[in-house]
Structure formats: structure tokens, C-alpha cells
């Protein structure tokens, strides 16, 4: 019995057994199409539709949205999403495609939207039927998020939106966007408001989505341009001018520090799916010729791979500690450091994978001779997006320094 199982409440223990049985009988198996390494790189409709079917099945079975109230499409359970996540990851399932909806839009809607809007939007968000994207960054406002200039002008009970958002993952498939914009140009923070906007139905009628092709050749990123898009005031979350406070709810959950646990699955490793983990790194070393043996015979390399295993284990144990207040020296330290540590761990593991593959790491996805199908250089190039998204590593260190260590604010 695992440590998690020993600490389960009776409700969690019963739910864990249910999840395990359901996953055993309903694992979707191998994808018929090549999958990207993460949801934000989904490019084609066949990829999206297969992953949406998986999320819908998991939602219908009660494994997604477990801790949300039944009135808004959830399972009405208490602290059971963590259990479902652990079992989905242990079963090595595909990832859930609606990552922005589940991790950012859902908790923001739950805490800040009016009840009719929650009841309307959350069920289809949790099921994956409606894909969501995030409208935060702009060409002139990245890390300095409070400088966004996309503007909404009020006209009666409606708002007219004009502006330009960038690095908008999944916008090419999204029905809805969470949108931070400006409703008052005279105040930097108090002039911000927060909306949810139906963008798919407005394509060509006030909304333009343009793909941004990354160095990897993938097109998960986009820019979104608003030109006189009209939305109803009922799509505004919280009070006018409270956009910055609402955005903090979004970012706290995006960084892993929110009260609601984000539904998470993954771990499927096959010819169509891959993640840069220490386990996969070890396999690469064992399969890579080096001298009269393999790369795994090098004791210095083995030591570096073991260090990655240790870092992964430490991250998992810190996640366990974060659920026990008595084991924390600060109520938010472990939660706030999670995003920084996991993104840099993935980057370091991918970098080491490229190093292990050596000259063969220059071979890419379409080359039949590429180690692991060319996934390691793809993972390394993609890793830089993760150390930038949700606030760069430099921003995360500033947050930890100021909010946890109590250091003076940087200038």
C-alpha cells in the first residue's frame, strides 16, 4: 500500500479503488495519431478530437472536476481530484487537452463569476467539449502584465473591445478566452477588468486568430486581434476595476498554488507520446551506443541521471508536504516554488537527453534514425516556453524572495 493510500479518508479510499478499476477497464490505449508533448502544442483536429474524447470519458466517469459542486457540473466530492490525478498518472494515460480551461479558467470562474455563468460554462469546460485559451500577454506587456492596453469601452450593457493579445496557446481551437483588459486608462492596476469572451463564434466578426510558428515547427501559439468586438456585461468577472485581483486567482492556480486542485493526467509513453522524464532519460542512455558499450556505462553520466531521479522524487515529496500545514515553514512556499522547479527540471532533463544522444540529437521528428523519434530535441526546444509561461523563472524567484523570504522588492 502506498503512503497516499494509507492517508486516504474512507471516501478517498473508496474513490481511489473506483478510479483504479475504471482506468483498468477504460484506458484509451495507443493514439491513432502522433501526439504533441503537451496540450499547448496541439496542432490538428485529429489530435484534438482524440484527446477531447479521452477527457470527456474521464469527466463522465467522475475523474475530472471531482471537487467542484454538482451544481456547476462537478462531482461534489471533497479533496478527491488529487486521488484521481494520482491514479490517472499511475495508469500512464494521455494528457487532458483543455489545460488552460482546467488549470486557469475553471477556478477563476468558480471564485469570481456570477452563478448563472458558472452553471452555463463550467460543465462543458470540465468535460473538454469547450476549449479555452488565455488572453493576458500583449506585444508590449509580458512580464509587466499590469501594462496591458487592450481596451473595453462601455456602451450601455455591452462592451466594445479593441486590442492585441499574443502567445495565446490553443486560440485556434478555443471557444472561449479568459481576458484581462483595461477599462480605465487613468489607473494602471485599478483600471483593469476581467472578462470571459466567446471568440470562436466571433471569428471574422471582431476576432482574428493568427498562428505563430515556433522553432519546432509547431503552431500551438497564436496572436489574437480584437476589432470592435461587442460582449455583454454579464461576461465580466467580479467588479469593474478588480481585474488585477481576479488575475491573481488565475496565476495562483496556474503556478500550482491555488486551493482547487487542477485535474491532471498523463504519462503515456509510446511512439506517439513522450515526456522528458528521468525514466525516459535512463532508457535513452541504455539504448545509445558509446564506445564498446552504451552511454549508461559511463559512471559520471549515471550520476547525473540519478540526480534527475532525485529531483523528481523531491518534487513529488514536496507536493505531499504541501498538503500538511504542520510540515511547512511558510503557508505558500512549496506551492509557489512548484512552477519554478518543475519547469527547470524538465528543461535540465531535456538538455541532458540531447547531450546523451550526441550528434544524433540533430536528427528530428521525420528522420527514421532519430533517437526516440526525435523527441529529445523537441522537448529541449519546447522547454523554454515553460520557463517563460506563467511568469519567467526570474519572476518566480522575485515572487519567492518578496512574498516568502520577505526581501525588499526589486526595482
Q: Is 313 a catalytic residue?
A: no
Tell me phi and psi for residue 108, to 5 degrees. Answer: -65, -45
Q: Please give the Cα distance from 149 to 164 (Å, whole number).
A: 8
Q: Please give the Cα distance from 329 to 325 (Å, whole number).
A: 8
State the catalytic residue, choosing from 11, 175, 254, 259.
Answer: 254
Q: Please give the Cα distance from 358 to 317 (Å, whole number).
A: 32
User: Nearest CA to 245 among 233, 255, 237?
Assistant: 237
Q: Please give the Cα distance from 79 to 11 (Å, whole number).
A: 9
Q: Please give the Cα distance from 339 to 318 (Å, whole number).
A: 12
The cell for 248 is 491573481
- List CB contacts of 215: < 8 A, sequence separation 6 or more: 381
Angle of helix 333-357 relative to helix 299-321, nearest 10 degrees? 160
Q: Which long-range contacts (CB under 8 A, 24 or more apart) does 320-327 make?
A: 320/3, 320/4, 323/82
Q: Please give the Cα distance from 131 to 192 (Å, whole number).
A: 25
Q: Residues 86, 93: contact at Cβ < 8 Å?
A: no
Q: Is 15 exposed, middle or buried (0-12, 13-18, 19+ CB in 10 A)?
A: buried
Containing 124, the helix (H) or strand (E) segment is: helix 115-127
Q: What amino acid positions are annotated as catalytic residues?
A: 254
Amino acid at each position: 500500500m502506498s503512503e497516499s493510500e494509507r492517508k486516504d479518508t474512507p471516501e478517498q479510499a473508496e474513490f481511489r479503488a473506483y478510479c483504479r478499476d475504471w482506468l483498468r477497464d477504460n484506458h484509451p490505449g495507443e493514439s491513432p495519431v502522433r501526439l504533441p508533448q503537451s496540450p499547448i502544442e496541439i496542432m490538428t483536429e485529429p489530435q484534438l478530437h482524440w484527446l477531447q474524447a479521452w477527457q470527456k470519458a474521464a469527466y463522465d466517469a467522475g475523474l475530472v472536476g471531482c471537487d467542484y459542486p454538482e451544481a456547476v457540473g462537478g462531482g461534489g466530492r471533497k479533496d478527491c481530484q488529487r486521488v484521481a490525478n494520482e491514479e490517472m498518472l499511475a495508469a500512464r494515460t494521455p494528457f487532458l487537452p483543455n489545460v488552460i480551461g482546467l488549470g486557469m479558467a475553471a477556478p477563476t470562474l468558480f471564485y469570481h463569476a456570477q452563478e448563472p455563468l458558472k452553471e452555463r460554462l463550467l460543465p462543458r469546460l470540465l468535460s473538454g467539449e469547450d476549449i479555452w485559451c488565455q488572453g493576458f500577454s500583449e506585444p508590449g506587456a509580458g512580464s509587466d502584465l499590469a501594462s496591458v492596453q487592450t481596451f473595453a469601452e462601455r456602451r450601455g450593457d455591452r462592451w466594445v473591445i479593441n486590442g492585441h493579445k499574443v502567445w495565446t496557446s490553443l486560440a485556434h481551437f478555443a471557444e472561449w478566452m479568459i481576458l484581462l483588459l483595461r477599462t480605465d486608462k487613468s489607473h494602471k492596476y485599478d483600471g483593469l477588468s476581467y472578462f470571459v469572451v466567446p471568440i470562436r463564434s466571433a471569428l471574422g466578426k471582431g476576432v482574428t486568430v493568427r498562428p505563430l510558428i515556433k522553432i519546432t515547427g509547431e503552431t500551438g501559439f497564436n496572436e489574437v486581434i480584437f476589432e470592435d468586438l461587442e460582449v455583454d456585461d454579464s461576461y465580466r468577472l467580479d467588479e469593474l476595476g478588480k481585474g488585477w485581483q481576479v488575475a491573481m486567482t488565475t496565476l495562483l492556480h496556474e503556478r500550482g498554488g491555488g486551493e482547487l486542485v487542477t485535474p491532471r493526467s498523463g504519462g503515456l509513453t509510446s511512439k506517439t507520446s513522450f515526456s522528458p522524464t528521468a525514466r525516459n532519460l535512463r532508457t535513452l542512455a541504455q539504448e545509445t551506443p558509446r564506445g564498446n558499450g552504451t552511454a549508461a556505462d559511463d559512471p559520471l553520466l549515471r550520476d547525473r541521471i540519478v540526480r534527475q531521479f532525485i529531483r523528481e522524487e523531491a518534487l513529488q515529496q514536496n507536493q505531499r508536504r504541501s498538503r500538511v500545514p504542520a510540515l511547512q515553514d511558510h503557508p505558500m512556499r512549496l506551492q509557489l516554488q512548484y512552477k519554478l522547479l518543475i519547469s527547470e527540471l524538465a528543461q535540465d532533463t531535456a538538455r541532458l537527453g540531447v547531450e546523451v544522444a550526441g550528434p544524433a540529437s540533430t536528427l528530428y521528428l521525420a528522420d527514421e534514425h532519430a533517437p526516440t523519434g526525435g523527441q529529445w530535441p523537441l522537448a529541449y526546444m519546447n522547454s523554454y516556453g515553460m520557463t517563460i509561461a506563467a511568469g519567467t523563472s526570474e519572476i518566480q524567484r522575485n515572487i519567492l524572495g518578496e512574498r516568502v523570504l520577505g526581501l525588499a522588492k526589486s526595482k
